[in-house]
Structure 1
Amino acid sequence: MKPLLLIDVDGVLNPFRRPDPGYRRYQCEIGGQVYTVHLNPRHGTRLLELAIATGAELAWATTWEHHANEWISPRIGLPELPVVPMGPVLGSTAGEMFKTPHVAEYVERRPFVWFDDQVRQEDEEYLRGHRGLDDFLLVPVNPRDGLTSAHLDAARRWLTLSGFSQGP
């Protein structure tokens, strides 16, 4: 089974602070509401390189859901990606964030790396207790800075050292 690389948008690809010059500003309209996002086109290239090098599959794990394929993917050079359905917001059982149960259902038993600005210890505990999920790496991203080379390097290292890398 191919490992997964799960990607959040806000706080990861779209940092909350004023981004550096490598980012471009976009206006996205979803359901009549306009959102401003700052995206770095290099993120798409770097994520694709990571997926190819490790044999992993990229997927969106964001409240943008399918809108990420419409608004984010083309602006950073990603193809259309599978989407973790966020479904209804479920109540927390152990302090985990609302996305965590949906991620647990989506990944089933596949190894995965999850880039998100809201993952915490409670999310890790929830996932470890969910039907034996234990082959994963949560990569907390500082929402002010967004995704960095250090985050991508950590994912590559974990996938390679854990033996999940299926890349060339």
Structure 2
Amino acid sequence: MTGHTERPLLFLDVDGPLLPFGEDPQRAPRGTTPDSRLARLTSEVGSRLAALPCELVWATTWEEEANAEIAPRIGLSRLPVVRWPEATEHHEREDQWFGLCWKTRPLVNWAGGRPFAWVDDEITDADREWVSTHHSGRALLHHVESYRGLADEDFAVLDQWLRAL
């Protein structure tokens, strides 16, 4: 591709950001079945995601299931899917030592130097630090509260960061 750079990536987790667990840690848990959680998915979420200036990529243990179950419910077409490598014992031990999310290293590899935003409920400062050291492009690791899911302020942060690139 000549003349322009590739659009930044947005790695999207499902459980937490798109399917909140709905249990505010300050309150007593209430029962949430997978079906009741899927019922929360709206086309509004899909159109807000589609409006962001980036390439959306599933970064979830749902893998292809995200295209079968989630994408149609929120009005998105089929998205690329990050395939999680079998964890090597060496990397697993090292990542636990650094306190890294198990997704961090594979996502940096997948991005291959492209700028990316990553929305997940498991992101910590350890992940941000590791990415800033091991990823040559710009990156935004955006933590979303799993009981709340993606909210207006999350979309505002993502939109602002992506447009500033």
The two structures have a TM-score, normalised by structure 2, of 0.80
Gaps of 5+ in 2: 1-5, 25-32
CA distance, structure 2, for counterparts of residue 7 and residue 95 of structure 1: 21
TM-score by length of 1: 0.79
- Residue of structure 1 in register with 2:14 after alignment: 9
Q: Return 5+ residue gaps in structure 1 as ranges.
A: 20-24, 28-34
Give 3-state SS (helix, strand or coil) of 2:136's partner: coil
Q: Determine what percentage of the aligned residue pairs are the same residue.
A: 37
Which protein has the bigger helix share? Answer: 2
Aligned equivalents of 1:11, 1:143: Cα separation in 2: 4
Runs of 4+ in 1 over 3 A off after TM superposition: 35-39
Aligned to 1:105, what secondary structure does the other structure show? helix
Partner of 1:63: 61
- 1:3 touches 1:57 (CA, 8 Å); kept in 2? yes
Query: Does 1:128 pair with 2:126?
Result: no
**In 1, Cα distance between the equivalents of 2:13 and 2:115?**
17
Change in Cα spacing, 1:120 to 1:148, as seen in structure 2 (3 Å) is same
Please state whether the residue corresponding to 1:115 is helix, strand or coil. strand
Aligned to 2:143: 140
The number of residues matched between the two structures is 145
| Cα drift, residue 122 of structure 1 | 0.7
RMSD: 2.0
